[in-house]
Structure 1
């Protein structure tokens, strides 16, 4: 029991450290995409830049809007980060902390809860900009969760298991990214919409919302929301690696796969412009949902 708790605690610590270096990677890559240097002053090649940013954010002055509902307003960023850490408990560890038979059900449940804390952040800030931002996030996340869960259900019909580890066994001969590449493309785009990343970052429409649901947060509150978002990026890389790229075999190549998916998400931000909100909803409800329902009927009729 003690070994499991220590492993879980170490996972949380290393996940937070990996977020720091993911932000550095993103700033470096976006810098070179725009033909400029990224952070390179603090430490060797800018390696300590994320930690100096963290110190700056966590030592900033505490402030809050006068008309906000204080306790929900201030608790929601911490709960957002906690949910992003908690979902990492589904990682298929060697010591099997929580790798039970229904690990995918656990992932679906926790990912569904995350949208509530974003809604609380925007609603209880009592600001019109944060309110519009949280409405956009809630509509976008709930819409793409429907197609995302159905897409994963197609894969579960193939593997006939809810255990993440069984995907490693199923892909021992050929990766699923080769056999079901349409599902891979749709899941990748659904993850971009779920994570509010470019080209679907409608919460941060600078011309109308400035920063969306988190506009009233600064310092510690902003840092916690930021950590939650980037932990979700790493988790999406882990899920895509498990589902389509041969799974995690607990060696160096497994972490390179997660790094590759994270790099793709960063490059999408550096190359694609923002989509239009009505087209985003049309893409989900008129295109993805109809395609996924047909695929679901197809896979269920073949394998059952």
Structure 2
């Protein structure tokens, strides 16, 4: 194994951890700005060290494990939730050269590996031996499984268009037209389902403090709680990257502006998606659990199926079929 093969994942981990650290700060700043508040501004210049201080606080807090909890599973659950969030990044092509692997079924790998996080959440809720934690874990699993179906169905139109599950091929297919335009229905379904998969507002039911104290991680403290929080924000990084690859042309430049390096275009599109996720949290209220499930099965899933049908029909229409 070459030195580069060892250092590349380490470098990516450092980049992701730096993103998580300042994404949390940026989110709090954005929400403060949108709600006419100041946001963090005490620790470090302009509050830039606030998240670092928060992480340090979590690391030095007492590690409390409930007396009647399943200790082995209780300790294992945060790792089960976090590891898939980082593992999915292996197939994301950031540019033509900045990628770990050119996996033939990269999209399938992403969907399969990301679903493992559900097990970590369920195990954490069950191992805590707390009824609220168990209920939070069960509700989170129901939500993530329900929204994963329209999420997967929404990208079938892209697979039909490109004839490939390779994320690199999907980016190459968007040199002239990004899939956000011919696959606008699929994009909207994907984006909404992705927000729910991330357990973010308005779909943050697993962490509904007013109903479940704190959801599946109510018994977790210190660095173990930090792992659950870290997994959520690493998935923000991964899902924003996947959205950029699938619908925003990846590293392809708009309007032929190739003077700007491809990695810069990828980062700009990526940051746009991240900003949108933070914007939602600042403006949308949490919806009820019955509305949550009805929306997945009665709205998103039929729309995803309709998008597949529409793509199949339009592929055969002369004049516009080449866009599909």
Normalization by structure 1: what TM-score?
Answer: 0.95
Residue matched to 1:247? 250
Identify the residue that residue 306 of structure 2 maps to in structure 1.
Answer: 294
Residue ranges of structure 1 left out of the alignment (5+ in a row) = none
Q: 1:199 to 1:237 in 2, by over 3 A?
A: same
Which residue, 112, 118, 121 being the options, matches 1:118? 121
1:117-266 equivalence runs, <5 A: 117-248=120-251, 250-266=262-278
Shift of 1:98: 2.5
Matched, 1:15 2:16: yes
CA contact (8 A) 2:185 2:303 kept: no
> RMSD in angstroms over aligned alpha carbons?
1.5
- Which residue pairs with 1:90 in the alignment? 91
Q: Is the 8 A contact 1:153 1:296 kept in 2?
A: yes
The answer to whether residue 287 in structure 2 is matched with residue 275 in structure 1 is yes
Using the TM superposition, give the Cα deviation of residue 95 of structure 1 relative to its aligned residue in structure 2, in angstroms: 5.9
C-alpha deviation, 1:243, in angstroms: 0.9
- Residue matched to 1:59: 60
Q: What is the distance in 2 between the residues matched to 1:95 and 1:245?
A: 17
The 10-residue stretch of structure 1 (157-166 or 177-186) with the greater mean CA deviation from structure 2: 177-186
Matches of 2:10 and 2:201, distance apart in 1: 32
Q: Cα distance 1:192–1:95, how it changes in 2: closer, same or farther (>3 A)? A: closer
Contact 2:186 2:307 in 1 (8 A): no
Rounded Cα–Cα distance in structure 2 between residues aligned with 1:208 and 1:161: 43
- Helix, strand or coil at the partner of 1:19: helix
CA apart distance, 1:51: 1.2
Q: Secondary structure at the match of 1:179?
A: coil
Q: Which runs of 5+ in 2 are unaligned?
A: 253-261, 317-324
